[in-house]
Amino acid sequence: MDQAKKKISGGKERMDLIDEVLPHFESFIESREKYIKALEMTIDVLKHENENRGRNNLDIRSSIDELVAMHRLANTISTAMTPEAILSALIDLTRQVIPVIDSNIYLLDSAANRLTPLSALAQARLQEEAQEQLESGIVDWVFSEKKTVIIPDLKSLVVDTPARNFVIVPLFVRNAGIGIYLIHTEKAQQEFSNQDIQLLSILANQAAAGVENWRTYDQLMQLNKELKASEAQMISAARLAAIGELAASIVHEIKNPVQVLMLQLDVMKRGTVIPNADELFRQQVTRLHEITKRLMNFARNVTEEFTITPTDVNKAIIDAVAMVEHEYKLDKIVFQLNLEGQLPLIPGNVSYLQQVFLNLAINARDAMPKGGKLTIETANVELDASFAHDRLSLDPGPYIVLAVSDTGTGMDSKTQERIFEPFFTTKERGKGTGLGLSTAYGVIKQSGGSIWVYSELGRGTTFKVYLPRVDEQSSPEPAAQESEKPLEGTETILVVEDAPAVRALIRATLGAHGYNVLEACSSEEALVVLEKTAESISLVLTDVVMPGMSGRELAKAVKTTHPATKVLYMSGYTDDAVLRHGVLEPGSYFIQKPFRPIDLLRKVRHVADLPALA
């Protein structure tokens, strides 16, 4: 019984405890449900935010990629050096911002109140619109406000086409308006965002920088062209001065063989037999030929381009010395040549190299008014880094050195500092141009070399010219042996030459070797001979410069009526001179006067054996 009461009493206590705890438990359950719902809502929000963030990240990555691409193209605009390249890159970028029907940059010509197109590729409609906006004051407004403006294309409203607009973006350089970027687009005005306008303004700024760079580059190229022309004139002036200095020596060199020939002819007229007369005659003619050839090579017109070819230094010096040696002997100056044998070639120009040598030689002669010794030396040298960099501003390595030393008055240090300045001279007024050494300096620098001077008052002066070598195996080739190929022929050749003596001797030379020779004293007469001659004429040998029709004009007529006939030109001018001045076309066959009979026969045989042009 007692036990039953205890059970009842214990059950009641548990019920009371449950009744007491249940509300708290229910409250806890309810709060947990709210918490779970809140968590679910939070998760949903986070998921949504995460999805948006992913989309934004994709948009950001896409925008970054687009900006990088635009930046690269923008750099292309600002660094382009031609109007076409600037505009092409600009249009490519613009199409990434808005659709483009047509576009162009127009540069402002304030004096003429006109907008000039940067490129001629745009349509005339765009040019008309640009000029209308300038005359209406819109261009002045965008300059003053520094803003981009969008203007409806009123003409597109008249026809049945979607509405179109013109976008006018100002171009500024150092806060000054230089022009506009005009774009014709189908994008509606209300669809333009601030970002579109900002991007177009950025592109216009890059284009303005590109235009400024192009203008600067163009000006620099023009200045460089003018500088080259001035340099060519300066070298020509120095060369003429050198020829004037050498005139007496050149005349003397020509007089000797002429004197021999005159005496020989007089003796032969009187019937006196001269031993070895033919050999003596040939020697004097060859001597005249060599003198004339050297003088013509030296006196060639200076072109604006400095032509670099492999050059034999020793041969150039020997030929130049031959032109002046007699004159210097009269001044009691003795030449001493110490030339190293088998020197490698240098990348240079024979005519220019002789110009350098003669300018140095003239300078040395003036320093020895009472006579002396002029020593010319050439040698292979290897420049170490310290000497090459510190004294010559050259890279270390192998060079050819040309040294010109005199025993003259020498120079003090102040004079040595200025000797390469243009127009600086220590000579009396009217006796020097001041261009000789400055010209030599410029030529040497263009050849990739350097010049160094050492002088002591009362002891003399040494100039050393350092010139880069071509390569070790490029040494001068020994003179080729005369070809054993037969020089005779049976072809018919028409000789066109206005000098009767020259024409007669050419006819005799060719006729003696089997050729059938026709002749004409002018191009006009040559055309008549061609028309009346029934036989096939294989070759026309014509002078280049003649009264009336020139040799080139004759050749054109020959090609029209006798396309299989070849043309060989001859002239006292050098081949590069007649080509440079447009007298002959590149690829023409040419022989320079004066020529030896064997040279004429070889050239004629060579041209005659060439296959006929189709």
Q: pLDDT tens digit string along 439-466?
A: 777 778 877 888 888 888 888 999 999 9
pLDDT of residue 1: 47
Smallest Cα–Cα separation from 555: which of 583, 593, 591, 515?
583
What local confidence, expressed as pLDDT, does residue 406 receive? 92
Integer-rounded Cα radius of gyration of the chain: 44
Of 460, 445, 449, nearest in space to 404 by CA: 460
pLDDT in tens, 151-160: 888 877 666 6
614 pLDDT exceeds 50? Answer: no
Please tell me which residue, 41 or 593, carries the higher pLDDT value.
Answer: 593
Orientation angle between helical segments 523-532 and 551-561, nearest 10 degrees: 20
Instruction: Tell me, rounded to whole angstroms, the distance of Cα 580 from its chain centroid.
Output: 16
Q: With CA atoms as reference, report the closest residue to 323 among 283, 361, 286, 349.
A: 361
The DSSP secondary structure of 472-490, one letter per residue, reads TT-PPPPPPPPP-S-----
Instruction: Note whether 220 and 295 are within 8 A (CB).
Output: no
Per-residue pLDDT at 25 exceeds 70: no
Assign 437 to helix, strand or coil.
helix
Q: How would DSSP label each residue in 185-221?
A: E-S-GGG--HHHHHHHHHHHHHHHHHHHHHHHHHHHH
224-233: average pLDDT: 69
Q: What percent of the chain has pLDDT over 90?
A: 16
Taking residues 77-81, what's their average pLDDT?
Answer: 64
DSSP assignment of 90-137: HHHHHTTTS--SEEEEEEEETTTTEEEES-TTS-HHHHHHHHHHHHHT
Cα-based torsion angle of the residue sequence 573, 574, 580, 582 in order, rounded to the nearest 10 degrees? 40
- The set of residues, in sequence order, having a beta carbon less than 8 Å from that of 73 and lying 6+ positions away, is 89, 92, 93
Q: Nearest-CA neighbor of 168 among 87, 103, 245?
A: 103
Whole-angstrom distance, CA of residue 173 vs CA of residue 211: 9
Checking if the pLDDT of 289 tops 80, the result is no
| Rounded average pLDDT over 158-169 | 80
Nearest to 491 by CA among 542, 538, 559: 538
Task: Assess contact for 402 and 317: CB atoms under 8 A.
Answer: yes
Mean pLDDT of 542-559: 88
Name the pairing type of β-strands 450-456 and 397-406. Answer: unpaired
pLDDT (0 to 100) of residue 518: 94
Cα–chain center distance at 13: 113
Rounded CA separation 506/514 (Å): 13
Amino acid in the structure at residue 260:
V
In this prediction, residues 354-369 reach a mean pLDDT of 85
pLDDT digits (tens, 9 = 90+) for 169-219: 999 988 889 999 999 999 988 888 888 888 888 888 888 888 888 888 888
HSE of 152, CA atoms in CB hemisphere, 13 A: 8
For the chain, domains (ranges, CATH) are 83-219 (3.30.450.40), 306-468 (3.30.565.10), 492-609 (3.40.50.2300)
Phi then psi dihedrals of residue 194, to 5 deg? -60, -35
What confidence tens digit (pLDDT) does each residue in 512-537 have? 999 999 999 999 999 999 988 878 89
SS (H, E, C) 114-127: EEEECCCCCCHHHH
Question: Between helices 500-511 and 597-609, what is the axis angle to 10°?
Answer: 70
Q: In 481-559, where do the E strands start and end? A: 492-496, 516-520, 539-543
- Provide the 3-class DSSP secondary structure of residue 170: strand
